[in-house]
């Protein structure tokens, strides 16, 4: 199959890649760029584990073709921390115990980051709405909501 | 889950896309948001040789007010753009509500209006992985000759579960379809065949250009009510759109429609003149239409909740929708 040259801006770094059109962004991130923080969950766009930010918007990388995001800016969980210093949302997740098995955390944290970028002081309902597309099977969501609210108040 | 190989095109304008479609026709599939198509490809329900990505076609994107007062929504407009449009939020409230209820925000950032109205019918026994499906005989939808959902069923009963179509049809919206040689604008209701196996009347060589909404009308009220098990992600188990135009007294209905989704293989329209033309919007009007909705709903056991429950909920949601439009 013919491969297509693309350039992606992943966590601020330009990446030149040659990809077959049937490769998803998730596969490129995990297999080619070895960024394993983005999880491969249901693979069908339902669970939210593979969420990444494209131009600051959370999207599902498992049902996004890599060739379709040519030239766009992609942020994965690896792009949040500043060296060894965690991003305030990551810090809040640790602080509030919002992580159990950790499988949903990358997607949850990126979704929360996108929310706080567009809405500095979200109401409880807005937090719930924002993470409504991300499934967590451990926490019951309470601590995740608390962590996002804490990160927001830290921000304010 | 990997996608099978395909040849990929991403045309920059509509005419190039139409040319590609004219050449490749039935072997090609159009990609917009991908939230429906790529999932079906991963489940091996589809294996197109060619994918034509429409996302680079700028002319198909955006919400615009037209000279005659109507509003054009380009097919490639993302649901998030619809939700953040103040025109849609203020003047087409029911449509705005329905768009917000489609799946969840990350999928609204991907899914498009055109993709949503062209959503395929679904079935609990069809929208499954290849391995899962191999445990049952091949059904009508997959090219076989039996229905796995309805015992002895003589045709496909796959259910249409789009959220936008019921509201758009209730608003009497039209759809513009482009073929290689001509463009046609038809009432959106005509896009749906009502058949589970082939739910759309769209030709192989046609692309949905966009939706035309009638001009805003301060006497028109439209709402959408949706039943689902979770408050996010899920497709509707029943959806009811009600749209009425009020007479000057504010208590009489001049025109309107009730349109249901997820209770058949296409949107189900209830619009008899005697129930909408110069009729007082009293309790008996609400109850009569709720009864009509109950009778017109023909759900079968092909989603996660029993058809008897969904049929009863069609009545309940219709009542709620009509009470909302008459008291809003």
CATH number at residue B84: 3.30.390.50
Q: How high does pLDDT run on average in chain B?
A: 97
Nearest to B231 among A4, A48, A132 (CB): A132
Same domain flag for B46 and B70: no
B283 and B245 together in one domain? yes
Chain B positions touching A60 (Cβ under 8 A) are: 35, 106-107, 110
The answer as to whether B127 is a domain residue is: no
**Min distance B183 CA to chain A CA atoms (Å):** 27
If asked whether residues B79 and B106 sit together in one domain, one would say yes
Q: What is the pLDDT along chain B (328 residues), one digit of tens a residue?
A: 899 999 999 999 999 999 999 999 889 999 999 999 999 999 999 999 999 999 999 999 999 999 999 999 999 999 999 999 999 999 999 999 999 999 999 999 999 999 999 999 999 999 999 999 999 999 999 999 999 999 999 999 999 999 999 999 999 999 999 998 899 999 999 999 999 999 999 999 999 999 999 999 999 999 999 999 998 899 999 999 999 999 999 999 999 999 999 999 999 999 999 999 999 999 999 999 999 999 999 999 999 999 999 999 999 999 999 999 998 7
- How many domains is chain B built from? 2
Beta bridge partners of B224: B241
Each residue of B155-173: pLDDT tens digit?
A: 999 999 999 999 999 999 9
DSSP string, B49-88: SEEEE-TT-GGG-SEEE-TTS-EEEETT-BHHHHHT-HHH
Written as six digits, the tokens of A25 are 């962004």
Domains of chain A, CATH where assigned: 4-79 (3.10.20.30), 88-155 (1.10.150.120)
Residue B151 lies in a domain: no
Beta-carbon separation of A63 and B35 below 8 A: yes
Same domain, B174 and B236: yes
Same-domain status, B176 and B268: yes
Contact across the interface for A133 and B232, Cβ inside 8 Å = yes
CA A111 to chain centroid, in Å, comes to 6
Q: Is residue B288 located within the same domain as residue B195? A: yes
Does A67 sit within 8 Å of B7, measured CB to CB? no
Domain containing residue B18: CATH number: 3.30.43.10
Look up the domain containing B314 and give its range.
61-118+159-327
Give the global pTM.
0.97
Domain assignment present for B140: no
Report if residue B1 sits inside a domain.
no
- Asked if the C-beta of A156 comes within 8 angstroms of chain B's C-beta atoms, the answer is no
Measure B36 CA to nearest chain A CA, in Å.
9
Could you tell me if B297 and B226 lie in one domain?
Answer: yes
Indicate whether B47 and B97 sit together in one domain.
no
Q: Judge whether B323 is closer than 8 Å to chain A, CB to CB.
A: no
- Structure tokens, A102: 């950790």
Same domain as B16, residue B107: no
Q: Does A18 reach chain B within 8 Å, measured CB to CB? A: no
Alpha-carbon gap, residue B311 to B297, rounded angstroms = 6
User: Is there a contact between A48 and B106 if contact means CB atoms under 8 Å apart?
Assistant: yes
State the count of interchain CB pairs (< 8 A) between A and B.
Answer: 88
B31 and B73 belong to one structural domain = no
In a shared domain, residues B236 and B164: yes
Establish if B33 belongs to a structural domain. yes
**DSSP structure class, residue A65:** B
Please tell me whether the interface predicted TM-score (ipTM) of this complex is above 0.85: yes
In B156-293, the DSSP E strands lie at 174-178, 183-187, 207-213, 220-227, 238-246, 252-261, 268-270, 279-280
Q: What are phi and psi of B261, to 5 degrees?
A: -125, 160
Per the CB < 8 A criterion, the answer to whether B222 and B171 are in contact is yes
Please check whether residue B132 lies inside any domain of the structure. no
Binning chain B into helix, strand and coil, the percentages to the nearest 5 are: 35, 20, 45
Instruction: Say if residue B101 is in the same domain as residue B186.
Output: yes
User: CB count, 10 Å around CB of B94?
Assistant: 24
Residues of chain A with pLDDT under 50: none
Q: What is the pLDDT of residues B262-293, one digit of tens each?
A: 999 999 999 999 999 999 999 999 999 999 99
Pick from A2, A27, A58: which is nearest to B105 by CB?
A58
């Amino acid at each position: 199959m013919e491969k297509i040259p693309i350039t992606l801006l992943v966590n601020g770094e330009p990446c030149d890649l040659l990809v077959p059109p049937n490769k998803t962004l998730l596969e490129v991130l995990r297999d080619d760029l070895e960024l394993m923080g983005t999880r491969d969950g249901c693979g069908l766009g339902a669970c939210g584990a593979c969420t990444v930010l494209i131009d600051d918007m959370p999207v599902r990388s498992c049902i996004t073709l890599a060739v379709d995001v040519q030239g766009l800016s992609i942020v994965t969980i690896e792009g949040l921390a500043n060296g060894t210093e965690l991003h305030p949302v990551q810090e809040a997740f640790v602080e509030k115990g919002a992580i159990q098995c950790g499988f949903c955390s990358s997607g949850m944290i990126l979704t929360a980051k996108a929310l706080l970028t567009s809405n500095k002081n979200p109401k409880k309902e807005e937090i719930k709405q924002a993470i409504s597309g991300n499934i967590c099977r451990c926490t019951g969501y309470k601590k995740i909501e608390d962590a996002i609210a804490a990160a927001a108040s830290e921000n304010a | 889950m990997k996608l099978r190989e395909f040849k990929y095109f991403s045309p920059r304008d509509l005419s190039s896309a139409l040319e590609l479609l004219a050449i490749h026709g039935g072997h090609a599939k159009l990609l917009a948001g991908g939230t429906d198509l790529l999932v079906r490809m991963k489940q091996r329900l589809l294996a197109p040789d060619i994918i034509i990505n429409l996302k680079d076609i700028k002319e198909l994107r955006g919400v615009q007010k037209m000279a005659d007062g109507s509003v054009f929504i380009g097919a490639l407009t993302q649901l998030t753009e619809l939700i953040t449009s103040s025109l849609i939020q203020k003047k087409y409230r029911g449509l705005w509500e329905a768009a917000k209820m489609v799946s969840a925000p990350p999928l609204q950032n991907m899914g498009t209006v055109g993709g949503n109205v062209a959503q395929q019918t679904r079935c609990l026994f069809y929208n499954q992985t290849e391995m899962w499906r191999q445990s049952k005989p091949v059904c009508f939808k997959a090219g076989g000759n039996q229905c796995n959902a309805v015992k002895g069923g003589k045709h496909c009963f796959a259910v249409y579960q789009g959220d936008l179509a019921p509201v758009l049809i209730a608003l009497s919206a039209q759809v513009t379809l482009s073929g290689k040689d001509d463009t046609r604008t038809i009432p959106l209701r005509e896009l749906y065949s009502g058949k589970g196996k082939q739910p759309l009347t769209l030709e192989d060589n046609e692309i949905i250009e966009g939706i035309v909404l009638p001009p805003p009308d301060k006497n028109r009220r439209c709402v959408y009510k949706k039943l689902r098990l979770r408050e996010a992600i899920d497709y509707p188990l029943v959806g009811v759109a009600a749209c009425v135009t009020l007479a000057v007294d504010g208590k009489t209905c001049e025109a309107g429609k009730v349109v249901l989704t997820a209770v058949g293989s296409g949107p189900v329209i209830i619009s008899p003149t005697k129930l909408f033309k110069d009729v007082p919007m009293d309790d008996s009007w609400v109850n009569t239409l709720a009864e009509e909705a109950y009778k017109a709903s023909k759900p079968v056991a092909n989603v996660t909740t029993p058809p008897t429950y969904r049929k009863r909920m069609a009545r309940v949601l219709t009542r709620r929708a009509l009470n909302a439009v008459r008291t809003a």
